[in-house]
Amino acid sequence: MKQIPVTKRASQIEYAIRDVVVPAAALEAQGHSIIKLNIGDPLAYPGLPTPNHMVEAYQKAIYDQKNGYSPAYGIEELRVAISENEHNKSNGGWNCEPNDVYICHGVTEALQIIFASYLDKGDEVLSPGPHYPPYMAYPQVFGGKTIEYKLDSENGWAIDIDDLRSKMNDRVKLLVLINPNNPTGNVITKTELDQIIDLVSQYENCTIISDEIYDRLNFNENHISTASRSKKVPIITLNGVSKVYYAPGWRIGYMAFHDPTHNSKEVRDGIERMLRSRICASTPAQYGYLAGLNGNDDWMSGYLEMIKERNEFCVKRINNIEGLSVERPQGAFYMFVKLVDPYWNANDKEFVLKLLNQKYVLAVHGSGFSKNYGKGHFRIVFLPKKEILNEAMNRIEEFLIESRH
Amino acid sequence: MKQIPVTKRASQIEYAIRDVVVPAAALEAQGHSIIKLNIGDPLAYPGLPTPNHMVEAYQKAIYDQKNGYSPAYGIEELRVAISENEHNKSNGGWNCEPNDVYICHGVTEALQIIFASYLDKGDEVLSPGPHYPPYMAYPQVFGGKTIEYKLDSENGWAIDIDDLRSKMNDRVKLLVLINPNNPTGNVITKTELDQIIDLVSQYENCTIISDEIYDRLNFNENHISTASRSKKVPIITLNGVSKVYYAPGWRIGYMAFHDPTHNSKEVRDGIERMLRSRICASTPAQYGYLAGLNGNDDWMSGYLEMIKERNEFCVKRINNIEGLSVERPQGAFYMFVKLVDPYWNANDKEFVLKLLNQKYVLAVHGSGFSKNYGKGHFRIVFLPKKEILNEAMNRIEEFLIESRH
Looking at the fold, whether A156 and A89 belong to one and the same domain comes out as yes
Q: Does B141 touch chain A (CB under 8 A)?
A: yes
Asked if the C-beta of A109 comes within 8 angstroms of chain B's C-beta atoms, the answer is yes
pLDDT at B18: 73
pLDDT at B209 over 90: yes
Which residue out of B273, B283, B369 would a mutagenesis test of the A interface target, given it has the greatest number of A Cβ atoms within 10 Å? B273
The pLDDT > 90 percentage for chain B reads 94
**A68 shares contact with chain B (CB less than 8 Å):** yes
Number of domains in chain B: 2
Q: Is B34 within 8 Å of B243 (Cβ atoms)?
A: no
Final residue before a domain boundary, out of A242, A265, A294:
A294
Q: Which of residues 172-231 of B touch A (CB under 8 A)?
A: 173, 204-205, 207
Residue type, B204: E
- Look at residue A36 and tell me if it is in a domain: yes
Per-residue pLDDT of A48-72, as tens digits, reads: 999 999 999 999 999 999 999 999 9
Cβ contact B66:B96 at 8 Å: no
User: A336 exposed, middle or buried (CB, 10 Å; 0-12, 13-18, 19+)?
Assistant: buried
- Determine how many CB atoms are found less than 10 A away from the CB of residue A405: 8
The reply to whether B319 and B202 lie within a common domain is no
The answer to whether A270 faces chain B, any CB pair under 8 Å, is: yes
Q: Are residues B77 and B219 in the same domain?
A: yes
Residue among A6, A70, A274 minimizing CB distance to B270? A6
Residue A1 lies in a domain: no
- Of B249, B283, B288, Cβ closest to residue A68: B249
- Asked if A377 and A256 sit in the same domain, the reply is no
Chain A residue closest in CA terms to B104: A105
Task: State how far the Cα of B74 lies from the Cα of B77, in Å rounded to an integer.
Answer: 9
* Closest CA of chain A from B312, distance in Å: 25
Q: Is the pLDDT of residue A405 over 70?
A: no
Both A250 and A285 in one domain: the answer is yes
CA distance B264 to B226: 17
Q: Is B49 on the interface with A (CB under 8 A)?
A: yes
Nearest alpha carbon to residue A314 among A261, A269, A268, A378: A378
Residue that terminates a domain, selected from A242, A275, A294: A294
Section A327-341 average pLDDT: 97
Q: Are the beta carbons of B72 and A137 separated by less than 8 Å?
A: no
Task: Mark whether B192 and B286 lie in a shared domain.
Answer: yes
Which residue is closest to A13 within chain B, CA to CA? B273
Mutation for testing the A interface, residue in B3, B52, B67, B99 having most A CBs under 10 Å: B67
Residues A288 and A320 reside in one and the same domain: no
The residue-averaged pLDDT of A334-351 equals 96
Q: Do B109 and A105 touch (CB under 8 A)?
A: yes
**Best mutation target, A14, A105, A333, to test chain B (most B CBs within 10 A):** A105
Check whether residue A182 and residue A214 sit in a common domain.
yes
In a domain, B2, yes or no: no
Q: How many other C-beta atoms lie within 10 A of the C-beta of residue B112?
A: 24
Look at residue B226 and tell me if it is in a domain.
yes
What confidence tens digit (pLDDT) does each residue in A287-314 have?
999 999 999 999 999 999 999 999 999 9
Residue of chain B nearest A123, judged by CA positions: B7
Same domain, A44 and A79: no
Please name the residues in contact with A284: beta carbons below 8 A apart, sequence gap of 6 or more: A58, A61, A62, A66, A67, B58, B249, B250
Q: Which of A6-20, A305-319, B174-188, B273-287 has the lowest mean pLDDT?
A: A6-20
- Domain of A64, CATH number, reads 3.40.640.10
- Which of B294, B324, B350 is a domain's end point? B294
The whole-number average pLDDT for the span B15-26 is 84
Is position B1 within any domain?
A: no
The string of pLDDT tens digits covering residues B258-303 is 999 999 999 999 999 999 999 999 999 999 999 999 999 999 999 9
Q: Do A279 and B106 touch (CB under 8 A)?
A: yes
A158-210 per-position pLDDT tens digit: 999 999 999 999 999 999 999 999 999 999 999 999 999 999 999 999 999 99
Please name the residue of chain A whose CA is at the shortest distance from the CA of residue B241. Answer: A67
Do B370 and B329 have their domain in common? yes
Question: Would B76 be classed as within a structural domain?
Answer: yes
Least confident of A65-79, B1-15, B92-106, B296-310: B1-15
Nearest to A62 among B55, B118, B265 (CB): B55
Interface probe, candidates A1, A2, A7, A59, chain B, greatest B C-beta count within 10 A: A7
Model pLDDT, residue B405: 67
Contact B108, B116 (CB under 8 A): no
Paired residues of B365 in beta bridges: B378
Q: How far off is chain A from B65, nearest CA to CA, in Å?
A: 7
Whether the upstream peptide bond of residue A248 has omega within 30° of 0, thus cis, is no
User: What are the distances in angstroms from CA B132 to CA A247, A277, B136, B360?
Assistant: 33, 10, 8, 24
Nearest CA in chain A to B108: A278
Please state, as a whole number, how many other Cβ atoms lie within 10 Å of the Cβ of residue A386: 14
Residues of A in contact with B106 (CB under 8 A): 278-279
Q: Which domain holds residue A12?
A: 8-49+299-402
| Reported ipTM | 0.96
Whether residues A183 and A247 share a domain: the answer is yes
The answer to the question of residue B3 being in a domain is no
What amino acid occupies position B63?
Y
**With an 8 Å Cβ cutoff, is B6 touching chain A?**
yes
Whether A56 maps to a domain, the answer reads yes
Same domain? A98 vs A212? yes
* CATH number reported for the structural domain that contains residue B22 in this entry: 3.90.1150.10
